[in-house]
Homo-oligomer: A and B are copies of this chain.
Amino acid sequence: MNNQPIGVFDSGIGGLTVAREITRTLPNESIIYLGDTARIPYGTRSKEVVTRFAKELMDYLLKLDVKALVVACNTISATCLEELQAISPVPVLGVIKPAAKVAVETTQSKVVGVIATRGTVGSKAYDNEINKINGDIKVISQACTLFVPIAEEGLGDDEVARVMADRYLSVFTGTGVDTLILGCTHFPLLRDTIQQSIGKNIALVDSAQPTAEELKEILGEKDLLSNSTESHNKFLVTDAPQRVFEIASVFFGKEVFPQIEKVNLD
């Protein structure tokens, strides 16, 4: 047993959707969430820069003695998960593989759609994970860049979201896709709009719950589960304008991470 905290990090606060699932699945665990709000978004940046920023986030959390790390960001997971795993002394878990597994289990047509940031789509990380499990599945990907700022503006159910969803998702028409991965932590905030645009027969899969389940499994295997009866969560960001508080409550409510603390990475 091990009562050290779990480090969860993200380019911003979208990863709170993953952190929330972890607190539900593993209520005895303490979480330190670190969001790089000073440099968000990562999804439009190069591999080199995303990797450098991600290593800085990881180093910061390792200094706080976390027992495991969750990369609650599709772009980082897609770009440099293996580099992070290679240099981390503790287990590092990404969000791509857990969602890919669920999508493979879900699809009947063997055609899976992926919507994500430009960085994640360009990495082909979902294609690779899905085809490692089943090489016969066809993957069709679409970058949905504007979904990120639309989600952050709280406009996930708005006309602007519907206009862009119809535009972006038309690429899946007639392809036989029956399962769509929401490959960005922001996209669950547009879930209803996406479902309505693509049709109610398409299964939507996101990373939050599958990642929390995989974390539980890994901690169990390595005997790292906590036996504490209470959890102490921390919510750290690299920039905290008033707006971060507003967006955080869009993503999370205020029940689990009551306070937001600003930190410097260097």
Contacts and interface: CB of A to CB of B under 8 A. Distances in A.
Given A39-B39, A146-B150, A241 B45 contact: yes
B44 A241 contact: yes
Nearest to A266: B266
A38 to B, nearest CB: 5
Contacts of A150: 146
Q: Give the interface size class of chain A.
A: 20 to 34
A192 to B, nearest CB: 18
A146 B118 contact: no
B160 A149 contact: no
* Copies of this chain, count: 2
Shortest 8 CB-CB contacts between residues of A and residues of B: A46-B241, A49-B239, A149-B149, A38-B49, A160-B163, A39-B39, A46-B239, A45-B239
A106 interface: no
Interface in A30-63: 37-39, 44-46, 48-49
A240 interface: yes
Nearest to A247: B44
A219 interface: no
A45 B49 contact: no
Contacts of A45: 37-38, 239, 241
A105 interface: no
Contact of A153 (B37, B146, B163, B238): B146
